[in-house]
Amino acid sequence: MPELLRLKTDEFLFTVKAASVEGRSRTLSKTLLTRQCTNSNVLVRVAPVIKLSEPPRGFVDGSYSFLNAVENLNHTDQVSLDFPIFFENTLYQVEWIFLKKVQWASLNHRYKAVCDAFIFTPSEDGLSARLTGTINTGNDVGWLRLPLTFELNGKIQTQNIAFEVLPTKMALHQDLPAMYQVIDKVYPLWRFSLVEKTEQNAATSQHRGHFPLMWLANFSTLRVRFEQGLKVICAAPHSRLQPTVANIKAAKLKGRLPHKLAEQVKQDFANGQYDKRYAVEKKQLSEDTPENRFIKMAVSKSKRQIAEFEQKVRQSNQAPERQRLSDSFLNELHSWQQPLQKVLGQSFLKEVGAYTGLSRESLVLQQKTGYSAVYRIWQELKFYLDVFGNQSSISMKSVAEIYEVWCFLCLKQILEQDLGFELVENGATKLAQNDFFEYQLKDGFAGAFRLKRSDGVTARLAHEPKFTKQGKSIRSYLVNQEPDIVLEVTLPKSASSDSGSTEEKQFIWLFDAKYRIKTDKNRFDDNSEDIESTDYVPDDAINQMHRYRDALIRLSESRLSESPPSGNAGQSPKKSRPVFGAFALYPGFFDQATKPNPYAAAIEEVGIGAFALLPSQNESSQTDPSQTGSGYSGHQWLLEFLQAQIGTARNTQTGQGNEAMYPVTGMAERLYVQEAARIPYYGMSQVLYPDLTMTVALGGQRGRDSGYFEKFEQGTARWYHLPQSTFLQKFKQHIAEEIRYLALASTSDTQSSTKKIDKLWPVKRVTVLPRYAITEKQAGRKSEKTDLYYLFELGKPLSLQTPVTNVPHRPMKNSMKLTTLTRLESMITFAEVDRVYKEAISA
């Protein structure tokens, strides 16, 4: 491995080696260039300061130095680099070679896996002692701190060296804060982790108690109840009669005196003692009670701990290497202190003394309104408060986890803000804790968001639901499947019935967040695919989308019996494929407003592909106003796709929206008519309407053999032809293969402006031929035209009990409608015939 960095002191020689990082450096430079932003100063920080015995050195592949000169070798706290060398998903070899006799050395990182990767080798056979290890940065970005501890001349010394691990696929200081902002609104504190490879501030104590986020999480959950209980207490503070002793002269004694006191006064008067004072005990209401002392203690301690934590994180967040906390989180910490400070300012608490504990159980704290609530909440918070002040380290979950959850919430945001859905069930309230007291999403449909739109369409957005062999509605028969994001959309029955079904229609789209970009071509790739200048998703991510769609099977009740007998193995459930599309989401950068999605064609043809997804420019600029750029939408392709699939409800306040463009009544047809949804197994056909019927008039009699029309009247006709150009004026091309019946309007009267339909002709086959290839027997006359025609081969006709009248035929396209056999049987006039498959009508 080539040496990237070398720092030499009188005590040790520190080196960092890695395989070539030039490719990653170029990728990051391209990312920053396209995002029109610059990276902050690249630094290696040292604490405490060290005295270098020679200038620091750094090389990339041994070609040239990239380090700037250090101003003072005797007092070095940081080394400045011309460009970054520390990246995510990179293996680094780190070594300290000790130049003096060191008894032992170790790396005291908080993450156990990092410590275990380092081995100390004592000096022997003339070789210096050394501490050597490897670090794979993985998907952990941020500042990686290497805390070295070693013993030299009987003294323990510590040295911290820290460097910033950068992502190559996004702008760290632009994209991540925008993602944090979105996540913090829905899952407060979820992104914080107890321990990771990267840290945001150093520990100030050797105590290893519970991570502060747990106290914050509990206080955040209980805060409203805590404040409500305090309001009740302030409105009616507890007080009790307490004895007080006053020394009063006899002249000021009032009321009936106790017998003993009266005798004492008489005796003193007899002895001539008139100025003597007497101890008189009285009882008066006082708010300086043990219960109020407890309340004052609880409020004071909570206020102090939150203030100390806020001060620590604000101070840590000011340093460049620790800027990981959003302003909204810090401001929320500050706002929590305001109600507590207001309570401490109450007049009755100013006279309350210090809390020294309870000598016995207090019924006031256990039962009285307000006091009981604060007491119970305090018991829940007390454990965390005991260790709260000893923590100052805050880590984040890996950027891959951050990106995955951000993609999940980005979809939720699109549904709410762009597609008109409203949240009716919030799965964010079902966060769960793991063994390390970190918050985790409750995966699956149990933690899903449920949304509903004004047109009756409902959506369910789930994170990592698991599909197993035991699934009742959707099953994976062989291997459990767990896609990152599942979007399930259900149409109301009124919309479903448009496709001939009385059941609710459900459609599923799968998304998998992949924090990766394709870097290597394989031998099967298209030569025109330029992975150097265009971001593509890795091939294995696309293969995984095919796996998800093929593996999931929907089970529904067999149509043969609505309530099959118990234990009847012959009544197997009906199987179908529920996934209408599976797509990878990846951090590719494009100007989505002007450029097409490189996966658009595949998405349209087979329903498999990918969408580049990054925070939009306006989202990033809100977090960092200093960032400037051309302006772009990081989710426009995904938004346009979802709009085309499930539409946008009209805004009831503005009256705007795409309701006319995407009516819910035609949503099922719109989805079923797509090319990807109509791919059957080879040798089979797939249709939405099994009895799809096209009404059309017979051609004019002029120039045709009269026997041609007599066959239609007698029910013996076997052929019908129609110009392809006329058909395509009304319907999309694929519809010709789905037509099962022709409702041909007869030529009953040449002088009449209308015709009638009294027979339905089953379609055996349809072919496309030039007009000259259609025989006189098939068409009623010969023609030498080269125009393409549809030639329908007909079966024996079915007679309508009630003919459909008033069918127009001039021009012929006015007589053409798509309907169903069931609908046509109940109609009398042509105007009453219900149209179906509106999405198959040509624009």
Q: What are phi and psi of 723, to 5 degrees?
A: -60, 135
Cβ burial 368-382 (10 Å sphere, 16+ → b, else e): bebbbbbbebbeebe
Which of 784, 820, 794 lies closest to 721 in space, CA to CA? 794
For a pLDDT cut of 90, what percent of the chain falls above it?
A: 20
- The per-residue pLDDT for 268 is 78
Beta-bridged to residue 3, according to DSSP, are 17
Q: Give the strand order in the sheet containing 12-18.
A: 3-8, 12-18, 91-98, 130-136, 118-121
Buried/exposed 544-558: b ≥16 CB within 10 Å, e otherwise: bbeebbebbbbbeee
Segment 746-777, tens digit of pLDDT: 865 544 667 888 889 999 999 999 999 999 88
> What is the tens place of the pLDDT at every residue in 538-560?
889 999 999 998 899 888 875 54
If we measure between CA atoms, which residue out of 431, 180, 201, 432 comes closest to residue 329? Answer: 180
Tokens standing for residue 158: 């510590």
pLDDT at 561 over 50: no
Given a contact cutoff of 8 angstroms between Cβ atoms, the answer to whether 578 and 506 are in contact is yes
In angstroms, what CA-CA distances link 547 with 29, 184, 542, 543, 603? 35, 33, 9, 6, 15
Output the six-digit token pair for 337: 């202190």
Contact of 396 with 198, CB cutoff 8 Å: yes
pLDDT in tens, 306-323: 888 778 767 766 655 555
Of 781, 755, 785, 759, residue with least CA distance to 772: 785
Q: How many CB atoms lie within 10 A of CB 659?
A: 17
Least confident stretch, 29-33, 117-121, 398-402, 478-482? 29-33
C-beta of residue 461 within 8 angstroms of C-beta of residue 411:
yes
Domain positions in the chain: 3-168, 212-237+289-393, 240-286, 399-561+574-668, 680-840
The secondary structure of 163-222 as a DSSP string is EEEB-SSS-HHHHHHHHHHHHHHHSTTTTEES--SEESS--S-S-----HHHHHHHHHHH
**Cβ–Cβ < 8 Å for 643, 659:** no
Instruction: Please report the pLDDT score of residue 660 as a whole number.
Output: 37
Average pLDDT, integer, range 670-685: 75
Q: Which residues have CB under 8 Å from 674's CB, separation 6+?
A: 604, 607
Beta-carbon contacts of 667 under 8 Å, excluding residues fewer than 6 positions away, are 457, 491, 495, 646, 647
Pairing, β 754-770 against β 788-794: antiparallel
* pLDDT bracket for residue 436 (50, 70, 90): very low
- The least confident of 218-227, 524-533, 583-592, 703-712 is 524-533
Residue 543 CB partners (closer than 8 Å, separation 6+)? none
DSSP one-letter string for 715-746:
T---EEEEEHHHHHHHB-GGGGGT--EEEEEE
Q: How far apart are CA 379 and CA 336, in angstroms?
A: 19
The model's pTM is 0.68
266, two tokens: 């008489």
pLDDT at 792: 94
- Classify residue 370 as left (phi > 0), alpha (psi -120 to 50) or beta: left
